[in-house]
Amino acid sequence: ARQVPSPNCDERPADCYIGLIVIHNISLPPGNYGGPEIEQLFTNCLDPAAHPYFAEIAHLKVSSHLLIRRDGELIQYVPFSKRAWHAGDSCFDGRQACNDFSVGIELEGQDTEAYTDRQYEQLAAVMQALVATYPGLSLQRVAGHSDISPGRKTDPGPAFDWQSLQARLGGGVA
């Protein structure tokens, strides 16, 4: 992965283990792909005057561990050992504050537009590597942002093909 350090992270709580993968989507401006704006947002360099939507979000301090671009490029913003600021107010399996114990993976996209085969291939490879590395993680501990923040978030959206991901992983995703 290409490394682009984000300042929007901190230490995980001492007693936390990585036990969840959260799948998100992002495009900046909405519906546009391939530009530098996601990187600018995650590194606090987004110009609020560059687009009307940016004025609403440029002040946010957010990040994810990884971004998978439409062409499959993998960018890492936060080391897995640190807490990325991707989930916000969230709950999974009765545990609050999912940022504490999750890895956040952004897919360049939007809720209603199909993701690319390259993105699914890269996501499956990353998930398999994470499960092989972190003993508290399994392919049954994967959720969309909408699953852990219902009513507040909608991503990865109805265009995300959970069956395609399962097929690439040989089944296993809950």
Distance CA 108, CA 136 (A): 27
Contact predicate 98/92, CB 8 Å: yes
Please report where in the chains the tokens 């495009």 appear, as a residue: 27
Please report where in the chains the tokens 């399994």 appear, as a residue: 138
Closest C-alpha among 167, 96, 172, 101 to residue 135: 101
Contact predicate 24/104, CB 8 Å: yes
Give the active site residues.
Answer: 106
Would you give the DSSP letter of residue 138?
Answer: -
What are the backbone angles phi and psi of residue 95, rounded to the nearest 5°? -100, 125
Distance CA 84, CA 103 (A): 8
Residues 6+ apart with CB under 8 A from 168: 120, 121, 123, 124
